Chain A
Amino acid sequence: MATSADRFIHRPNAIDRLGKTVVYAGELMRHPVYTRFLHWMVGILFFLALLSGFGIYLPWIFRFFTPLFGGGAMTRFLHPWFGIGFVFFFALQAINWAQAMTWTPGDSRWMKNIKDYVTRADSVESPETGFFNGGQKMMFWEVVCGSIAYVITGVMMWFPTTFGRIAVSVAYVIHDVSALIMLFGIFFHIYLSTFGEPGTIQAMTRGTVSEAWAWTHHPRWYKDVTGRDPEEAMKQASRPTAGDERTL
């Protein structure tokens, strides 16, 4: 069983060597260049596929979205290729993250107590939250399942005469449902990485997070990589140091 610390040790590959990750004082390395590259490729292709698919999805929005891609015929031509790109890069990300995303009993407990997470019942995450929390893992596995559904149904819709009209018309519904679930999920993904939990997005841009962010959102990961107790570290940080004239 891999710990979060094992996940932290990443063997650099060719993509990693193209860039660098600078870890400043008080920061922890979170995502290497390779992970960040895959994430943004998946993100860009997701939105291209989403917007081009949207044009075809509903008559009401056909004329809003198809001009973005050079008209209806071009939108239709490009959509499958965007989809293939999305699935290709996400597949690499899935391999990259498969171990870190393995579901644990702790994640089941996290899901059970999701209400506390949503209502911010505590100012920090539960101490057993590792590199990824239960919600992140659920999102990941949803995208894995959704991508498999996209590929199967997408190929059927691409070559309708090969698969027959009944199978294709079912594929069409499954493809749409998968897209709706991912659209629903993307709002939470973007919200939590920006406004909802400030300091998160730099994990995917610069690749590092502050230690304070780590013990707030992923205490067990903090413990694994630093060897320090997250609660103790937090208390220590809140203690006014010499020269700190902060009054609240």
Chain B
Amino acid sequence: MSDRGTLRIQRVSGHPGPVAGQGTQREDTVCKLIDTTTCIGCKACEVACVEWNDMPFRETYFDNTYQTMPDTQWNYWNLIKFNEDEHSDGSFAWLMRKHQCMHCADPGCLHACPADGAIVQYENGIVDFQQENCIGCQFCVSGCPFNIPKYDETTKKVYKCTLCSDRVGAGLEPACIKACPTGCLHFGTKDDMKFLAEKRATQLREVSGFKEAGVYDPPTIGGTSVIYVLHDINHPEKYGNLPKEPRISAAFTIWKEWFKPIGLFGAMLGFVGVVMHYVFEGPRRTQPLPPIKQIDPPDRAAGKEN
């Protein structure tokens, strides 16, 4: 879904050996900053996403909240999650969070993916799916701590937000950023966005009375290229199941990268074993079959009669 001519690939899923051309160009890590404290839930970003990526509008449902659909879809990559957070003093707040791919620095989907080149991470930090290489195994679905990749039954491929890699590669900001009317969405280098986010969090703590305000950039997955400013950094789960410590299952890291090759080597020892057995011990032929001459090593011959 992207333009390989303008974005250098840093990591490739299911690929033996290093990536060709890695590190030949200097590229800043890009980042999307989402300030949940200024989000008004207008869904302009959702519309911009659907329009830019030429996806059909989805049917919505009504469950007595402002939540228009339960989750993102294979062709609906950006969704505002509405949550009503009741406080202990009886007051309540609307917590609105723009939910999309987090573009992790250490992506669980990429670790899980067995198909060569189906998931790539560009040097600017964008994690992108290459559907032409996708085999539809859905390992990325269980690799992702944010429940982002969505499987399409018809094409048997998995899709997700591209961080508008086609736009970013051409020097433009992602479509959602362009559409945001409140300035809650920002786009730039990771360093700049971290600086801006920390400044906003400090302002919230010191001026606006949100004592727990902070920046969500989870270090457990090496940070993300989508960061949030939250009113309450200690309880990210309140914002529609945003995990506090997102983790990649060891099945996709330790098992896949270390024990799989060792295990395969171990299983192939069975082959070596039988070949060696044939050489050292030989077959057991049907009897009677008196040997013409048997040459044993001296110590072994001592314990045997024939």
Binds B, one of A4-12, A73-81, A103-111: A73-81
Contact residues, A165-216 vs B (CB, 8 A): 165-166, 168-170, 172-173, 176-177, 180-181, 183-188, 190-191, 195-199, 210, 212-213, 215-216
Q: What residues of chain A lie closer than 8 Å to B249, measured between beta carbons?
A: 165-166, 169-170
Question: Nearest CB to that of A58 among chain B residues?
Answer: B260
Let me know if A124 is at the binding interface, CB within 8 A.
yes
- Contact of A123 with B114 in the complex, beta carbons under 8 Å: no
Contact, CB under 8 Å: B142 / A168: yes
Question: Shortest Cβ distance from B295 into chain A, in angstroms?
Answer: 15
Chain B CB within 8 A of A112 CB: no
A241 within 8 A of B: no
User: Are A120 and B134 in touch, CB under 8 angstroms?
Assistant: no
Of residues 242 through 265 on chain B, the ones whose CB sits less than 8 Å from some CB of chain A are: 249-252, 255, 260-261, 263-264
The count of residues in chain A whose C-beta lies closer than 8 Å to any C-beta of chain B is 58
Q: How far is the CA of A188 from the CA of B138 in the complex (A)?
A: 34
* Complex interface bits, A117-160 against B, C-beta within 8 A gives 1, otherwise 0: 01110011000000000000000000000000000000001001
Instruction: Tell yes or no: B184 within 8 A of A by CB.
Output: no
Q: Which residues of B contact A180 (CB under 8 A)?
A: 263-264, 266-267
Are the CB atoms of A176 and B284 closer together than 8 Å? no
Q: Nearest B residue to A191 by beta-carbon distance?
A: B274
Number of residue pairs spanning A and B whose beta carbons lie under 8 angstroms apart: 156
The smallest beta-carbon distance between A216 and chain B, in angstroms, is: 5
For the complex, is B90 an interface residue (Cβ under 8 Å from A)?
no
Cross-chain contact B16 with A60 (CB below 8 angstroms): yes
Task: Give the shortest distance, in Å, between A194 (CB) and chain B (any CB).
Answer: 9
Q: Confirm or deny: A234 has a beta carbon within 8 angstroms of a beta carbon on chain B.
A: yes
Instruction: Tell me whether A73 and B156 are in contact (CB under 8 A).
Output: yes
- Contacting pair B138 A160 (CB below 8 A): yes
Chain B contacts of A168 at CB under 8 A?
Answer: 141-142
CB nearest neighbor in A for B139: A172
Task: Report yes or no: B255 in contact with A173, Cβ–Cβ below 8 A.
Answer: yes
Contact assessment for B261 and A199 in the assembled complex, using a CB-CB cutoff below 8 Å: no
Q: Are A187 and B270 in contact (CB under 8 A)?
A: yes
In contact, A234 and B288 (Cβ under 8 angstroms): yes
Residues of chain B lying within 8 A (CB to CB) of residue A238: 287-288, 290
Residues of chain B within 8 A of A118, CB atoms compared: 277, 281
Chain A positions near chain B (C-beta within 8 angstroms): 56-60, 62-63, 66, 71-73, 75-77, 118-120, 123-124, 157, 160-161, 164-166, 168-170, 172-173, 176-177, 180-181, 183-188, 190-191, 195-199, 210, 212-213, 215-217, 234-235, 237-238, 248
The 7 closest A-B pairs by CB, nearest first: A238-B288, A169-B249, A191-B274, A72-B135, A187-B270, A169-B251, A165-B142
Selected A-B contacts with CB under 8 Å, 13 pairs: A62-B14, A123-B287, A165-B141, A165-B147, A168-B141, A169-B249, A172-B142, A176-B255, A183-B264, A185-B270, A195-B278, A197-B284, A199-B286
Given A60-B261, A172-B139, A183-B267, 6 more A-B residue pairs with CB atoms under 8 Å apart are A58-B114, A62-B114, A71-B135, A165-B145, A199-B286, A210-B286
